[in-house]
A and B are shown apart, each in its own frame.
Chain A
Amino acid sequence: MFGIIDLSLNTKITSPLVKALPKEDMSHVVIKPNFYRDSLQLMKISEKLSRSSGVSEASIVMATETNKGVLIRLGFSPSLIEQANESDMIIAVRAKDQQSIDLAAEQIGKLFESPEEDRLDSRDQEKTMDIDLALRKMPGTNLVLLSIPGEYVKDISYKLIEQGIHQQIFSDHVPVEDELKIKKQAVTKGVLILGPGAGTSIINGKGIGFSNAISSVGPVGIVAAAGTGLQEVACLLDQCGIGVKHGLGVGGNDPKDKVGGIMMLECMKILEKDDDIDVIAIISKPPSGSVEQKIREYVIAKGTKKYVLAFIGGQLTPAGKKKNQQQGHSENLLSEEASSVSTSSRHTTTTADRETRIVKVNSLASSVLAIANALGNQHLQKAISQLYIPSEGLVNLLQREWSQLQSNQKFIRALYTGGTFTYEAQVILKDIVDMGQIYSNAPIEQVKELQDSFKSQNHSIVDLGEEEFTKGRPHPMIDPTIRKFRILEEAKDPEVGVILLDFVLGYGSNPDPVGAVIEELQLAKEIAHKQGHYLPIITHVCGTKNDIQGYEGSISKLHSVGCVVMPTNALAVIASALIVLRGQIELGHIYSNYIELPQGWNEFSG
């Protein structure tokens, strides 16, 4: 028990974000000095407390600057909150009366006494106390999954490398110098290092980290330096009936010059040796020039598979858009010749043949079409039917949305949980809207940086997974708190023409990411309506029909509150732009860049 009453501080609710709550609610804030619990445990306790009788808001967090800011934005008084240090815990409860606060205080004590009740397997409730013991307890360990603060990764990783144990490192903030040393050492020992910063991998169809329940193991191998990108491509392929055998996440730094693509290349070599794999896709932000060169050289010299290079936002070479004879077949399209290469002829192909097996695309959606195309026309047709909306169809679908806008509703506000989606959205929007009006907290080249990540400007593409939102908090794929109040904040801005959202299902994510914000989505529409506006909300759900959150159910919930659901992130971005520009977009060019295969649709739809 924390003596919540002794330290309580009654406050009046003043934040504009909580207008919807009853005015008579009371707020209480308690500081528990030098008391640590991890952010996930605190989130679970907060959720349980929020369900207590009379409690309208409960937030128990470590006192990081991010969390203090969030509590103040949620309407709790800053006077006590600002005094807390990072090692302190803050308990903030809002309830209808003092009796409810007292009951909540009692419940907090009980919840801290039983923190492990959510673990799935009661037989394993007792955790192993150290790593050596764990390795002895699991003979034949062939993967260690590390998700600890980045500063501690190197020492543990080195020890595991010495024991020849492959690793997936989710941890962020591992110094790049450490990453380089770890990976160089790992290569000499034949150890695979997935990450750091690798939240997702797929091994024999099984998901490691944030991942989805895919239906079948198939002929596709993926190397990814973009975690949500790997999830999106694997999910879209699954929807088209195409299975991924291995999807190996190497971390976002790997394809940069400093690391030199060490593990990206090793993973390509591993997938090359796999007889079950016919197509290898590389999903990444554009790698450095030298790494891209190494990738191409490897494929041309040694490649026997078909390759899809999905460098999001990378330049399609001139040959990609308008192939000419001089640049020839070395760069882009999976030509008819390459498509028809049979398995038996693989090992006798020439260098030129190998070059024609490389197709380069620059969006996640088009990479799926390219993979399907590489597997044959039947697969391509299925992919088209599942994922493609013709431009005329898109216009027809959205006309109703933009026709209800007021003239001052001109900006997109994207609140993303997936980093790759944030990146891809900026890439596509740069091609459509006035570039000078695009802001982000994770800006790509030529996009302006938000002055305050918590406050949108003009077109704002916000990655809620960036550090300023996650320090001391769970990732937004798990914890919807920040996005919830941000949705309401955007709804109140009369210049907002579209709210754009992603929902990532699967292992590791919130048990119901759509349900967690559905009230806010409904409220956002109501807020806009009261202000005399109509507010379009465009969404994309990244998931499979087997994901525990329910793919179809998630989409139905979004439809039920008037959201538009797009089959891919790329289409969601284009749809958002189409709405704020009232349909005034030359869609042919945008479609050929990001939605279709690079050289034009007809040639491939066959």
Chain B
Amino acid sequence: MTEEKNSTTNMATTARRLLDYDLNVVNIGLDIFYNALKLQNIKVVDVNWNPPPKLDKETEDLLDKIL
């Protein structure tokens, strides 16, 4: 109960950062969403996201051991 109360208080407070101020958005993915935000004069930065390169199983295992 205490945990729930704390989390609720926390969320209600932290959500104000989103709901009480102008939106400052980082868009990761589709251009159409970037354009939609721009059309509404919302500040937005677009990320040129690409999937990480696929490694073969042997390399992945090796990296797992090293890291």
Contacts and interface: CB of A to CB of B under 8 A. Distances in A.
Given A134-B26, A147-B30, A190 B47 contact: no
Contacts of A170: 29-30, 33
B2 interface: no
Contacts of A128: 45-48
Contacts of B23: 142-143, 203-204, 206, 208
A272 to B, nearest CB: 9
Contact of B12 (A139, A166, A269): A269
A119 B31 contact: yes
A187 to B, nearest CB: 5
A120 B38 contact: yes
Nearest to A147: B29
A274 B40 CA distance: 23
A246 interface: yes
A190 B11 contact: yes
Nearest to B52: A152
Contacts of B28: 131, 134, 144-148, 156
Contacts of A478: 32
Given A119-B35, A142-B18, A207-B36, A135 B48 contact: no
B66 interface: no
Nearest to A272: B12
A19 interface: no
Nearest to B8: A269
Contacts of B38: 120-121, 124
A433 to B, nearest CB: 36
A190 B25 contact: no
A138 B25 contact: yes
Given A127-B46, A188-B10, A204-B23, 20 more contacts: A40-B30, A124-B46, A131-B47, A138-B43, A138-B45, A142-B18, A147-B28, A152-B51, A156-B28, A171-B29, A187-B7, A189-B10, A190-B11, A190-B14, A192-B15, A207-B40, A208-B33, A211-B36, A507-B32, A507-B40
18 contacts: A118-B35, A124-B45, A127-B48, A128-B47, A134-B28, A134-B46, A135-B26, A138-B43, A141-B25, A144-B28, A145-B33, A149-B51, A189-B14, A191-B11, A192-B15, A203-B18, A208-B37, A270-B12
10 nearest A-B pairs in the assembled complex, by CB-CB distance: A147-B29, A507-B36, A190-B14, A190-B10, A127-B48, A147-B30, A138-B45, A134-B45, A134-B26, A120-B38
